[in-house]
Amino acid sequence: MFSTPKMSILIAVLILWGPTEASADERYKPIKDEVVSKECGACHMAFQPQMLPKRSWVKIMDELPNHFGEDASLDKATSERIKKYLVSNAADAGWLGGKFMRGIKDDMTPLRITEAPYWIREHNDEVPSRAWSDPKVKTKANCLACHPRATRGNYDDD
């Protein structure tokens, strides 16, 4: 049955496609909405919405006046627009949950990406604890310190 031309094409496609998928493992869709990039990127890197569930983004956007110890309030129209974008691109926005949904139980609403079980697993195995106190890193919110292409959604670097 593998001798049919259709089958060999399929096998060829799978062989070629497989490795590309594997090397592009830690890629996330870059943020396309300018307002989202600008407002979310004013104080920290604008994190890709695929890294938290919908309910987390709703809570974060509803609590902007106390955003991790700072007032990050926005006018209603702007915050609603941003919330809509974040929710429709969240980790659980597709019918197949994104990998950031792994280990997140139904009653969990993580507010920090660094609290998501997937993030913790990916970093615990590879990053020694002294790296976090490096003066160039300082905070776990500083993705760009180790992932220089993070803004474009590329976290492949190890």
Partner 1 sequence: MKNLSHLIQQAALLCCLVIVLSISANAASPQSILGGYEAEAKIQDQHFQEFSAKRGQLLFQSTNTTGKPETPSCTTCHSKDPSSAGRTRAEKEISPMALSRSPQRYNDLKKVEKWFRRNCKSVLGRVCSPLEKGDFITFMINQ
Residues contributing to the site for partner 1 (CB under 8 A): 41-45, 65-66, 69-74, 137-139, 141-142, 145
Phi, psi angle pair for 36, to nearest 5°: -65, -50
- Closer to partner 1 by Cβ: residue 35 or 74: 74
Tell me the closest approach of the beta carbon of residue 139 to partner 1, in angstroms.
Answer: 6
Tell me the closest approach of the beta carbon of residue 67 to partner 1, in angstroms.
Answer: 9
Tell me the closest approach of the beta carbon of residue 70 to partner 1, in angstroms.
Answer: 5
Beta carbons within 8 Å of 64's beta carbon, 6+ residues apart: 71, 72, 73, 74, 79
- Closer to partner 1 by Cβ: residue 69 or 128: 69
Tell me the closest approach of the beta carbon of residue 78 to partner 1, in angstroms.
Answer: 10
Tell me the closest approach of the beta carbon of residue 116 to partner 1, in angstroms.
Answer: 17
SS3 for 27?
strand
- Closer to partner 1 by Cβ: residue 56 or 98: 56
- Closer to partner 1 by Cβ: residue 93 or 114: 114
CA 57 to chain centre: 12
- Residues 33, 154: contact at Cβ < 8 Å? no
- Closer to partner 1 by Cβ: residue 71 or 107: 71
Q: Give the DSSP letter string of 103-154.
A: T--TT---SSGGGSHHHHHHHHHH--HHHHTSTTT-STT-GGGT-TTGGGTB
SS3 for 70?
strand
